[in-house]
Structure 1
Amino acid sequence: MLEKFKMNASLFRYDNGSVISQKSAFKEVANNVSKIMKIDSKRVIDSIENREKTNSTALIEGLAIPHIILKGNFSPWLYIFKSDKDIADWNCLDDSKVSILICLIVPQPVNQQDDNFKKMHLVINKLAEDDIVSQISKTETARQVVDILRS
């Protein structure tokens, strides 16, 4: 049963920063993800922007879940970014400003049998719980977000 999976460290990477626009947030995320994956940051930015053009990934209470879909054979993972400022031009459904990004880093094509993919699915399901979103919205660091998602 999926609930028995332990949320290990390989599923999460995280960082804190200070951004005030969606463009600067995407650039910061792309720079960090590209360093981790050892790829060109333009590939990451293009993926984030293309997905965001389809539909906003902003949810509620300052939380957004940008998608980064990259060609390649790697295990999916999550990159958590917490800005110490609200992102002025990125509104959530409740009119709050985004400050926490939970980025999905997924290969194309995705292997749905991959353990990290299954764990990621559990994490995303947690974001449907009001109390989890509320806890996340009150965090001060990306590490605190990870701790909530791992529990």
Structure 2
Amino acid sequence: MPPLSSLSAALESGRTLTADGALATELEARGCNLDDPLWSAKVLLEQPGLIRDVHRDYFAAGANIATTASYQATPRGFAARGMAEEEALDLVELSVRLADEARREHLMEHPDAGPLLVGGSVGPYGAYLADGSEYRGDYSLAPGSSRSSMLPA
């Protein structure tokens, strides 16, 4: 089934969909140190295969939706690591590919498991700041900046 009709069909059928949970917790349990402004997006740089493995394990546990490792994956966040915007956007794309690979691998072994979906995790501006302000909502843009300056060109 195409992805959009799969989600629509699942919702219209009244089927319960279960999203994966706690990607960061699983990555930490597997030895990743996420004490970093990039949080789980750091693993996209260091051990991307591990992210795919966690997604696959969540599907095996019964999840229908894999949430990408992109909550804190922003061009500005990666720029702090010296990466160009194009490289940063490639890493966001990688987060989607890893979840999709896990989905495809699980469906090859369990063809009746579907629908299995990939959901993009998009954090608010405060997530990029990596100071907890996305929970408090107490961040603001610098004087003279605009909302569009926060987005990739």
TM-score over 0.5 (shorter chain):
no
Q: Structure 1 or 2: larger helix share?
A: 2
TM-score by length of 1: 0.34
TM-score normalized by the length of structure 2: 0.34
Larger Rg: 2
Query: Counting strand residues as a fraction of each chain, which structure ranks higher?
Result: 1
